[in-house]
Structure 1
C-alpha cells in the first residue's frame, strides 16, 4: 500500500540558466520515495507577483538564496512533515498560511514553488504515475491534453539587452497535427531565421531564452523577418504557422505613455493600440501578450474589444497568475487569455485556481516558464495535466528550454489518447 506521508524536506542552492543561484527542494516520503523541484526566476516581473527571497549584500551580487533555503529547512520542513503529499491542496494551503503574506515575502516565492513542486513529484513517484496524471486526478481535471508549443524565434526587451522593445517574437504552428510536428516545423523556422540574420550581418548573439538576439533598426523588422523565415522554411504564414508577440509593455510604459526607445517614439495608449492593430493587420499575428502596461486597465479593455474576437489577448504581468486578478479582468472584459507561471503565485494549487478562473470566462490558458530556467520539467506536466492550450518556455535552443519540449514529446508519444490542442486551426 502506498505511503505518501512526508518524512522530511530539505533545500539546497543550485543554479539557473543565467548562472544565478536558485532553490531546489527535495521531499522524502515515509516509503523512501522522493521528489525534487527547482524554482525558476524571471527578468521582467509583474509588481503583484510572488517575491523571490534573496539575501542582498555583496555575495553573488545580492542574489544569494540562503534566506530562502533556511526558510525551507527551518520552517517549512517541520510544518509539513507528517502531512500527506498526495493532498496537494492541503500542502499548498499550509504553505500559504505559514508564509502569511500576499506575495510570499516571508518564505519567498522561490522557496514555496520549489517545495510545492517537490511534494507533487514525490507523491507521483509513490503512486507510480506520471506527474501530469497525478495533477489531473488531484485537481479533478477532465480535459488533460497536449498543449501547442509557442516558441521564441527572436528575443528582445529585458531578455536581450533591450535591443528591441518587444520582448518576444514567437511562432505557433496552428496547422500542425501534433506537438512533435510543431516542434520540428519550428526548428526549421529557427534555422531559416538564423540564415536570414547571418546574411544580413545582424546577429548579436543568443538571448536569455535561446532565441536569436537581433540588431534591428525598429520593432517591425522582426515581424517581417519572422514571417519570411516561416516562408523560407517551406511553410505558409497564417495557415501553417502564425506569429505571437510578448510585448511586455510594462517594461516601457512610463507616466501613462509607451516609450519605444529603439525608434525614439513616445505613444499614448490609443496610439500604441493603433500601432498594434496595424501590425496585426499586416502580419499573421494570433496572440498578443501584455500588449499594455500592467496598470493600464482601460488599455486592456480597449484592445480586447478591438482585437479580441480574432486573437488571444494574454495577461501576464497584468494578471500574475492570480485567480482574483483573472476574475476582475474577466468582469472588466480586459483579456481573453491568461499566462500561468508557477513562481508568480508560488504554489501549484494557485496555478490551478487561476486556470479555472480563466476557464470560467471561456479564456485560453498558456503555461509559461521564465527567462531564468533549469532542467526541471514540472512545467511540462502542469501544461498537460491542467489542459493548457499552449506552453511557452523560450526557444528551440538551450537545454533548459528543450528539456521541457522533449518532455511533452515523450508524454504525447506514450499517451496517444490525449488530444493535441488545435483551437487555432484556420
Structure 2
C-alpha cells in the first residue's frame, strides 16, 4: 500500500481516559496525521468505548460497524487513533480484512518518511525497531503485512531482520552506540558554543503551532514550513541579530504531540537536548486552536520528562516565554480578550508569524531577558592582548574606550556592559590567556 491509499480514521473515546479533551479536535488531529503521510481520508468518526476489550479494543458490534464503514468508503487501511496491543492489532486485521495501524505506528511512519539527516534516520529506525519487536516475532502472517526496513504501509517484508529477535537486538544495540556517538558530538558542539558568548534560543511547541514559520521570520531562512503535522523533524539552527545583541543562535525543534510514542521520546532525546542547553525557550502555541490549552499541557509534560521544568511546580531554571501565535486567524473580539491577558503577563507575547505582527515585541522581550543582570565593567588591557579587546567589541556593549600610558607601557581602557554569563565567559578567556 502506497501514498494516496484510502484510509478510515477511527478515534476511540475511552471512558475516563480523555476527560476534558475536545474529541472533535482530537479527531481532526488524527486526520492531520493521516494527511501528513499522504493518505486519502475516506471517512473518519469517533467511537465511544465504555469498556476496553482486550482482544480488539472495541466491542464486537463496533468492529462490525467499522467493517461496514470500510466497505462503504472503499477504505484500504484503518487508522486507530490510540494505542493497540499486538494482539488487538492482529485481531482487528483478521476481522476487518485490512491493514490496521495505531497512533504510534502512524507517527513513526511519518517520522520515518520525514527524517532528513543521518542522525534523524538513526533515531527513527531505533524507534521503529523498539515498537515493532513485540509485533514482528509473533507470527509470519502478521509480518507479511509490513514492509522491509522500518515502514508500515508497504508490502511483504524485504528482509528477515524483523523475524529474528536476536538480529533486532543486535541492530538496536548498534543504533544506540551510533546515537551515543552523535550525542557526544552534540555535547562537544554545545560546549564549543558555550565558550562563545552567543546565547541559544530554542523554539518548542505542539506540532503545527507555527515554529518553523516563526523561525523563518526571525532568521530569513527557508526551512520547510507548511500547514502540516511534523513539517520539521530534524533540528535546525541559525544565527540571528537582536537589538543590543550582536548574535544569538535560534534552534527549531521537532513538534510535540499528545501520546507521543515513548520510543520517540527516548530516541529523540539527543535532539531535544538542544532545548536543555538553551538560554531561553520560546514555547510557541497555536492560540487559534480550540485545544490550545490541552496542547500546552502536552508540551509541558514532555519538557518535564526531559527535566527542563519541574514536574511538580512547573518551575524552570531556563526562562520560558509563551508565544501565542496565529493572531491572524482570530476575530476582533478574541484578539481584544487575548490582549488583556498578554498585558497582565510579561512572559506572554502575542504574534502572527505569518504576517510578522508582534514579532518586534517578541525580539525586545528576548533581548530584555538576555540582558537581565547586565552590569558595567571596566577593563585595562595591554595592546598585546588584542584577542580580549576584539572579544569585548564583538560580544559586549562598549560604552567608553581610550588608550593611555600606564607608566609601564600603553594600555587600552574599556568600559563595557556585559551580562553575568558573558562576564563569566570573558573571565574564562582571561584564564586561558
Provide TM-score, normalisation by structure 1: 0.27
Say which one has the larger Rg. Answer: 2
Provide TM-score, normalisation by structure 2: 0.27
User: RCO (CA 8 Å, sep 6+): is it higher in 1 or 2?
Assistant: 1
